[in-house]
Structure 1
Amino acid sequence: MAILFVLLALTVLAVMAGANWYLWRRLFRDTTRAAGWVRRGGAVLIAGGWALAVSALVAERTGAPFWLQRVLAWPGFLWLALSIYLLLAVLAGEAVRPLLRRWLERRAPADVPVARPVDARHEETETVPSSARPGARPAPPEGPQETGPTPQETQDTGSTLLAAPSRRLFVSRVVGGAAAVAAVGTVGYGTYGVLRGPRVKRVTVPLARLPRAAHGYRIAVVSDIHLSPVLGRGFAQKVVDTINGTQPDLIAVVGDLVDGSVKDLGPAAAPLAQLTARHGSYFVTGNHEYFSGAEQWVEEVRRLGLLPLENARTELPWFDLAGVNDIAGESEGQGPDFTRALGGRDTARACVLLAHQPVQIHDAVEHGVDLQLSGHTHGGQLWPGSLLAAAANPTVAGLERYGDTQLYVSRGAGAWGPPTRVGAPSDITVIELASKQA
């Protein structure tokens, strides 16, 4: 087992090293004439970015001083996102390169500048007369001849694009520059979307056993807030204000509230005390709570006025509300216990279950749950991460039915690692329950 782990780790390192060398080559080596400060600077940028990223991850997991976590988090986590989209953009550029070269060849005049290397470090441009090419027609006789294009006309045809720098260098610079702009723009917009705060999404869910009196009952579902050295008190306040603005009957916080200890992030979570709903606010743990001290956080959210459902159930006026611990709690003897949460209840009543991970739906089906509310997936967070999320979860985002049980998965309000989302906008969902008797 240990040998397999070492081989896997070496494979991952080799792939990452190859990908970063490829990035450096396309963005820095291929876009410069010779070794110099640009190439060296590119190597420092890529290596330094990964050093910051790894340091940020290690600092968060080991509980390093909070000021150090904050210093490392922004540049380190943003580099993670930027490196993904730089690689994707450069790969996409491979399809553009031959098309751009072909276009330049068609626009080139008869006498085409050709790059001829002088030595290992330099290259110069040499013009090859058309008469000197193999198979070319002889030069016309001396004397009055029809004049060719003027220098200005030649420039208009695009020959200056080919003369200096060479065609290959020009293509590399255009493609590399476009890839960099696309990656920076994508990450910048995705980061703005997270910092702006989640948008409200409204979904109607009919429940067969819901009485007519509960028709239109609203549950505000928020998951994966991920308070951290990056997303702090100001972000928590935006989330709280957005939830309260929906005027829900009940608030469900379905895990991954924090990435850090109560000591470091307790002040950031303080705005949760302002949550207001007719039937209260409820909380279940996510996997990240077990990385951050789950017991302490359960007590903290209770102090802030939320009611933790640790494998427990409460009877509301028109339906049962239950909650189970996250699967990650099994390592601490605090895993999900569906029998404890759902056993012995009146099965004539509708039941809504809070469970952080969508994979818990199969247990919910077995116990006759009407609706499970989950998060965890972030909708993939960074495209094409949705493909990986789909491979690991029965539902990545939205509402789906499993037998007589419905599952709703929120994309979450915050972000883990990079404070960036691409193709998976953050949300707070208002679930409006509908009675089939209404």
Structure 2
Amino acid sequence: MFVAFIGFVLLALVLIHLYLWKRLVLDTTVPGRRRRIGGIAVLLLALLVPATMGTSRAGIHFLAWPGFIWVALMFYLLVLLLVLEVPRAVAKLVLRRQAQRAEPTTAAPEPVLVAAGDSANAAGPPAEHPAATRPAEDPAATRPDHDLSRRLLLARGAAIFAGLTAAGVTGYGVRTAMGPPQLDRVRIPLAKLPRSMDGLRIATVSDIHLGPLRGRAHTERIVAMINRLDADLVAVVGDLVDGSVAELGEAAEPLRDLRSRYGSFFVTGNHEYYSGVEEWVREVDRLGLRVLQNERQEIHARGGVLDLAGVNDVSAAGTGLAAPADYAAALGDRDPSRPVVLLAHQPVAAHEAAKFGVDLQLSGHTHGGQMAPFNLLVGLQQPVVSGLGEVDGTKVYVTNGAGFWGPPVRVGAPPQVTLVELRAP
């Protein structure tokens, strides 16, 4: 299955770069040195993508910035050029019709008058008439190739527009992704929440993604931001890291400084299973966060009780690295009169959580789409992409995450830390 997925990704990369070569190089140049240079550049950029992925997984990060920036540029060039296909086709049709209307019509050959006396010499060689025997010149053979010039102008205009727009959007996305997370505050009413617990606040963060482009300073900024909220609980809902404890242990160290009244909690995301999940569970526990692996914790606060549950990420199934998500273990045999909040990395877990009467699920994973319009594709896989939604009667809040994966670019989905305030009816 994994080999098939890699094969599909490589095929997609080949097809995308062939399309970019066609639109940015072949259509905008005439045969010669510039076309050869452009072709070589596209080939090198195509090789840069798998090289970046491979070296990053091997712990070699010198290609990370150029490789991942090109991934973002490639994505936006592809989107923009595809959008331009329709106006491009219309423009070509208009230019073709204008050229046809401007085409001169070929006049019929003028008759040649022959003198009566010439008929007597019919048996002899006919007299030559230069106007009659010289073939007419083809106007198209001497006219400049305006069609080629128009095609080049149209292709170059589209390429320049797409290139400048993609670069501008990517630059804006880098600035957004590398900037501080924004703070979102959301109030969520829970029907079972005791009046005494009204206003209980949960600082929620996901997808911190410590890795080749994000280190200790990123963690310190997030921890400081959460501590300023003076929250009752802290929930870190997965995808903390993209690398081993040996590589990123120091970057995660500031998590030990998280402060809250009733504790800080963590559940695994899919990226923990690519990064040594068992080591990270021990490390996060050592840093003072309670790791909820298919279990729940009673939260006694303000004279009331709330169940806080957590399940392993749905991607754990079949890995052999940890127990798969077990909703019965985390949610079964509990007092149904108490409200329960479930921490689950992926929003799709809500379909199972709803069967156990979960009042609220806190999730991440989607990054809010990270790079619009990619959020439209994310919506095909996850029931909620960003913000508050509902799945089969269970409320689901999805935070955008505080980091990024792959390209250091966020467009339409800024990094986020959320303060969830629970309200009694």
Q: 1:29 corresponds to which residue?
A: 26
Counterpart of 2:36 (choices 4, 28, 40) is: 40
Written as runs of structure 1 = structure 2, the 5 A alignment for 1:357-396 is 357-396=346-385
State the partner residue of 1:193.
Answer: 176
Please give the secondary structure, in 2, of the residue aligned with 1:325: coil
Decide whether aligned partners of structure 1 residues 164 and 385 sit closer, same or farther in structure 2, where only a CA change above 3 A counts: closer
Give 2:28's aligned amino acid: T
* SS of 1:201 mapped into structure 2: strand
Deviations 1:127-163 (A, max 9, x none): xxx9x93379xxxxxxxxxxxxxxxxxxxxxxxxx99
2:250 is aligned, of 267, 281, 288, to 267
The residue type paired with residue 372 of structure 1 is Q
TM-superposed deviation, 1:89: 1.5
Q: Name stretches of at least 5 consecutive residues in structure 1 with no aligned partner.
A: 115-129, 137-161
After superposition, what is the alpha-carbon deviation per residue over 1:330-362, rounded to whole angstroms, capped at 9, x for unaligned? Answer: 222421222222222222211111011112112
Q: Which piece of structure 1 moves more, 51-60 or 346-355?
A: 51-60
- Point out where structure 2 has 5 or more consecutive residues left out of the alignment: 108-144
Residues 46-65 of structure 1 aligned to structure 2 (within 5 Å): 46-61=42-57, 64=58
Aligned partner of 2:79 in structure 1 is 88
Q: 1:233 to 1:103 in 2, by over 3 A?
A: farther
Between the two proteins, the alignment pairs up a number of residues equal to 381
Counterparts of 1:403 and 1:396 in 2: how far apart (Å)? Answer: 16
Cα shift readout 1:18-46 (whole Å, capped 9, x = no counterpart): 3312211221222223321x323322332
- Percent identity reads 47
* Distance (Å, rounded) in 2 between the aligned partners of 1:14 and 1:283: 37
State the partner residue of 1:134: 105
Higher CA-based Rg: 2
Residue 423 of structure 2 aligns to which amino acid in structure 1?
A
Cα–Cα, structure 1 residues 356 and 12, in superposed 2: closer, same or farther, change >3 Å?
closer
8 Å CA contact 2:351–2:392 kept in 1: the answer is no
Provide the secondary structure at the position in 2 that maps to 1:353.
Answer: strand
Write the mapping of 1:11-410 to structure 2, written as runs, cut at 5 A: 13-36=10-33, 38-61=34-57, 64=58, 66=59, 68=60, 70-97=61-88, 133-134=104-105, 166-317=149-300, 318=304, 319-330=306-317, 331-332=319-320, 333-410=322-399
CA distance in 1, matches of 2:6, 2:400: 30
User: Partners of 1:10 and 1:410 in 2: how far apart?
Assistant: 32
Q: How large is the Cα RMSD of the aligned pairs?
A: 2.8
Q: 1:219 to 1:21 in 2, by over 3 A?
A: same
Would the aligned equivalents of 1:53 and 1:72 in 2 still touch at CA under 8 Å?
A: no
What's the secondary structure of 1:352's corresponding residue?
Answer: strand
Shift of 1:189: 0.9
The answer to which of 343-352 and 287-296 deviates more is 343-352
Is residue 80–residue 418 contact of structure 1 (8 Å, CA) maintained in 2?
yes
Tell me the secondary structure at the aligned position of residue 283 of structure 1: strand
Residues 1:12 and 1:256: Cα distance change in structure 2 (over 3 Å): closer
CA displacement at 1:176 relative to structure 2: 0.7
Normalising by the residue count of structure 2, what TM-score does the alignment of the two structures yield?
A: 0.82
- Normalising to structure 1: TM-score of the pair? 0.80
Shift of 1:165: 9.2
Equivalents in 2 of 1:175, 1:265: separation in Å?
Answer: 43
